[in-house]
Chains A and B, each alone.
Chain A
């Protein structure tokens, strides 16, 4: 598939989309017509549930201006919610009550109430907001403003920006350490990762990276950062204390995202060009497996990893791939909206 046409799906773009026997309560009278424009049975190549997986998966559809809500237990879309302009990165509060969405096209963050599936607040941030991450306690949201070389710090209790921190060129991805003390910002235009002290809200240092670092993840022990270098076809494993690249791992063309397993044993890498997810063993620093999510044109883009599942948005295919981390097979491919971008998992 070399070209993205999304027949039907997401065209409405404005409709809450109830699936049979789910989320019927969300269907407001005014949405009835729009909701019916979207085929109820979008192509769903497979939707095998994974044992023991629960919660909801939220996917932003960048060209559809919507968020798809997927029941993680059934791998079915239970709602398609209107969102802001070009929604990209998304984060869910630990209690699952709110989703924070970077609206790249309007320099806003939208706050989605996951009970009503409505945007309750929009908060102005910097230009071209893309990657977002919440502190582990959910009180702070870090927004990478890719167009204005800064990070907005948003207090989720007041939904106000409390600090705007200058970083390097074209920050597009944020990671936060498990203790919440440090945020790491990948600067795609500067071959660097800014280290941000979340208490003082200042950049306290910088980690080296390869060419076009577009994604950063930090290990649970806080010792290492993994950085996807988009135009180098590598992932850098960077020692946080030493501030040096420990290992450079060659991966497939166009690594667009890297995410760590909750236990830190693996790093998953979305390789956009060939349509693969590579698995890096973080002890050996070798690619231990490569999972094909589709042919070139599938465009695996962003990742979200839980102990029970690896979720991958496929921008070209308009799908969410669900990989079983036990056998590294694609357990389900869920049709979502137009150009799915960000993905986050809530309880």
Chain B
């Protein structure tokens, strides 16, 4: 794979002759080895960590979220404040290089989510890590989640027969304005954490260790706004977003709604994974600002201040109140074409296509190339069947919010099953 000489990230590690230099000029395999070194050096780093914490107190407010598991982290995990999403084309030459790529991704993710970085060989050598996160173990709720797109299952790697049965390239919905440069991809990285330095550090680290085999298509750095004042965060429209969700602590709900189960129509390797949908949706905030609040509420189907359903009057009504409109056949209280009602019409016909796990973020990339504000939503959801999302979004083609949004990017992906242990790696079941 490419040696990366001359490109900025590689220069950070450019060294000469010492062991750190060897690690710095990492090929894919060397990257994997470096990850193992990091884990093996745990006790030493543990001392450093103790020192750092003793001197400075708790440096971060988060935790270490376990990397190994039957499912990947970053899905059932309560959404962290910061989310970075990057989509790539895979340029591995063959299946063997593809396996190397996933092994390298695994070892970097394993190390990074342990809150550690590669140790420096000596003070005289270029640093092994860029140092953004400082010394010691950084507990910042970091999760790294890997998903694959339908294009990875084309003829390049002979994976066609193993494609998740519902995975396909996203087809535009009725009112989409998809920009090909912001869509699709062979591989999706979702990196979430408590602070943006952690996600930047992780993305840079992974990019530098996968040079020559991953070519970025598009990326979004996003955040979730803090609760204002309480409960579910607000999006740029000022509405609380993503209120209705399964209980992520309930195994039975998650197995029913999110996780692909063994012994289904899906290939065996997919069990424990889930379909991931990303949609980057630009908001027309100037137009929205001209809409009276009562009308905005009828467009969403929720109260603006409280996030409660439209039957609730008080600004203090909890957003945990359920919107129920089964006694409102004409949509007089909750309009038939409002967002929440089309997402889940509460009819027997739509009951099986109304449950997804929402885990969205907000983006701000102003000004756009035209010099205008560019704010919007990075809609992210997970579901056991991709067709559930497609049915739901097809209903939403008729929603009253359409004039105020412009879906411009995203794609359909399959979030891989979890990496079970130190011997396992991403997509092992797919590739072997």
Contact = CB atoms under 8 A, between A and B. Distances in A.
A274 interface: yes
B330 A88 contact: no
Contact of B329 (A62, A127, A232, A296): A127
Contacts of A5: 246-247, 250, 252-253, 256-257, 355
Interface in A166-205: 169-170, 172, 188-189
Contact of A2 (B244, B314, B328, B346): B244
A2 B320 contact: yes
Interface stretch (B34-42, B166-174, B304-312): B304-312
Interface in A59-113: 62-65, 85-86, 88, 104-105
A55 B204 CA distance: 69
Q: Interface extent on A, as a size class?
A: 35 or more
Interface in A223-239: 230-233
B326 interface: yes
Contact of A188 (B309, B314, B333): B333
A273 B252 contact: no
B70 interface: no
A273 B329 contact: no
B321 interface: yes
B8 interface: no
A5 B313 CA distance: 27
B292 interface: no
B324 A299 contact: yes
Interface in B309-339: 309-314, 317-318, 320-322, 324, 326-330, 332-333
A153 interface: no
Contacts of B326: 62, 88, 104, 301, 315, 339, 341
A65 B318 CA distance: 30
A105 B330 contact: no
A289 interface: no
A282 interface: no
A317 to B, nearest CB: 10
B219 to A, nearest CB: 31
Given A147-B330, A172-B329, A189-B330, A253 B355 contact: no
Interface string A307-330: 000000001100000000000000
A64 B326 CA distance: 14
Nearest to A127: B329
Given A5-B256, A231-B333, A273 B247 contact: no
B309 A254 contact: yes
A278 B250 CA distance: 31
A105 B313 contact: no
Nearest to B350: A63
Given A130-B327, A296-B320, A230 B244 contact: no
A299 B244 CA distance: 14
Contacts of A138: none
Contacts of B349: 105
Interface of B: 243-247, 250, 252-253, 256-257, 308-314, 317-318, 320-322, 324, 326-330, 332-333, 346-349, 351, 355
Which 5 pairs of residues, A with B, have the shortest CB-CB distance? Answer: A128-B329, A146-B329, A273-B321, A296-B320, A5-B253
Given A63-B348, A230-B333, A273-B322, 4 more contacts: A62-B348, A170-B329, A172-B327, A254-B311
27 contacts: A1-B247, A2-B320, A3-B247, A3-B355, A5-B252, A5-B253, A5-B256, A62-B348, A63-B351, A86-B348, A128-B330, A130-B329, A146-B328, A188-B328, A230-B327, A231-B313, A233-B314, A256-B327, A273-B311, A273-B317, A296-B320, A297-B321, A315-B322, A315-B326, A316-B322, A338-B351, A339-B346
